[in-house]
Amino acid sequence: MSAFYFDIEKQRPRISRREAIRRAMLAASGLVLADHLSFKAYAAPRTARAKSVIQIWMWGGPSHLDIFDPKPDAGYDYCGPLKSPLETNVSGIRIGELLPLLAKQADKYSLIRSMTHGNNGHETASYIVQTGRQPGGRLVYPSVGAVVSLAKGYDAGYKGLIPPYVVLTEPQGRFDEAGFLGARYKPFATGGNPAISPFAVEGVVAPGITEEHQKNRRQLLHQLDTLGQTMPDDPQIAAATQAENMAYDMILGDGAKVFDLTQEKAELRDRYGKSKFGQSCLVARRLVERGIPYITINYGGWDTHKENFQAMRRMLPDMDKGLATLLQDLGERGLLDSTIVWWGGEFGRTPKVLWEAPWNGGRNHYGKVFSAMLAGGGFKGGQVVGTSDARGEEVKERPVYPVDLIGSIYTQLGIDPTTKLPNPDGQPMFVLPQPTDGIKSAGLLKEIMSA
């Protein structure tokens, strides 16, 4: 089967240390330029409001009623014990009672309460939300991160040591992120746990090997490299030397330092929360500071078929702390205006609670209506787009389809939705579906997009 087909059962392995160094070497030697025409040859110029995206991917599908679309009047069978939503610092906007810190930051973000696609399968819904396309075609379309990697990465002049598309910390595994763009646009999944010091990033920090050991290895390599010593001016050897310097800078220099959270003040690390998610948010901010175009925090655990409310009480305080501090920290550093923060999962959860055994207060998959959040990067704060009905079961006003949200993000990044994508068929394929493709759309989120 062609590598371009969509195998939803296959879990993609994380990038190896060897592959990470190889990418750095390719970047240094100039071989990262595409086999095909560069993205710049396709893209029409647009004014960009944003430079980076931090995607908080709520793997499993978070409950909209328990988080950003509370329904206290729907009764116990819908809201369960979480029946006291919080007033936020924006009049008229209320969110779930377990999010007190985010309630104080509502002026920084907008909520979309009318996301919809109607699909209840993890793999297929993830594909829809991440690409804006329907699954089942012969070719697999790239995710938002892969498209941004193409548009803002090495093909567009990006010079960073760290790949332009990073996932903290585990691969998403629900779909092929790069699709027909190919392996070069897959994300660099860090592995490890940033809450553990040192943060052992796969491909950057080698477990069990000290910095001194790495330096000794490099010194031995130079002693054995007699060809390089006798022909230092040879162009190919010079390029290889440059690639080696860049690779080691990735391991021992600035590339490694970006993941070293001991450089941050202890008080700030505590504000983010010492959990894996909280510290991932801090790493994401550090990556934005260094110009990484697209960062995904793969935040699992939201598939709450059983004992949903116990999971909410355990997990939402962690999410609240990390996400609220991320928004505040980006704002204080002047980075929020140029950084889009996108929170959401593949769908919501069933509004009516399953009290019976074996669910014991669980919620199942629900693609009819769910919530998302957008902040920064030219998106207004303190706004609500769309509404669900009184029980959160149907879209009541202003449906928002995944393609509408994705197109709005591309627009704020300065990526023209009509930009052509290189593909193995050589056919005209575009960043976003065209009207003739039959993909449901209700239009860009112009009500929250700054002019």
Structure tokens at 24: 């750095």
Question: So what's the pLDDT on residue 176?
Answer: 86
Find the range with the poorest average confidence among 165-179, 311-325, 404-418: 165-179
Please give the C-alpha separations between residue 182 and each of 26, 149, 178, 289, 352, in angstroms, as whole numbers.
Answer: 16, 12, 6, 27, 41
Find the range with the poorest average confidence among 2-11, 13-22, 157-166, 210-219: 2-11
What pLDDT, in 10s, does the model give residues 327-346? Answer: 999 999 999 999 999 999 99
Picking from 232, 250, 234, 240, the residue whose alpha carbon sits closest to that of residue 15 is: 250
Question: So what's the pLDDT on residue 8?
Answer: 31
Question: So what's the pLDDT on residue 202?
Answer: 78
Q: In sequence order, what DSSP letters do the residues of 338-388 get, joined into one string?
A: GEEEEEE-S-EE-SS-B-STTTSSB--EE-SSEEEEEEBTTBPSSEEE-EE
Residue 196 contacts by C-beta under 8 Å, 6 or more apart in sequence? none
CB atoms within 10 A of CB 305: 17
The CATH class that applies to domain 17-205+259-448 reads: alpha beta
Q: How far apart are CA 371 and CA 23, in angstroms?
A: 37
Question: So what's the pLDDT on residue 195?
Answer: 96
pLDDT of 305 > 90? The answer is yes
Length of the chain: 451
Q: Categorize the per-residue pLDDT at 451 as very low, low, confident or very high, splitting at 50, 70 and 90.
A: confident
Its pTM stands at 0.84
Q: Categorize the per-residue pLDDT at 30 as very low, low, confident or very high, splitting at 50, 70 and 90.
A: very low
Question: End-to-end CA distance of the chain, in Å?
Answer: 46
What pLDDT, in 10s, does the model give residues 111-131? Answer: 999 999 999 999 999 999 999
Question: So what's the pLDDT on residue 425?
Answer: 85
Domain residue limits, the chain: 17-205+259-448
Q: How far apart are CA 272 and CA 279, in angstroms?
A: 6
Task: Give me the percent of the chain exceeding a pLDDT of 90.
Answer: 70
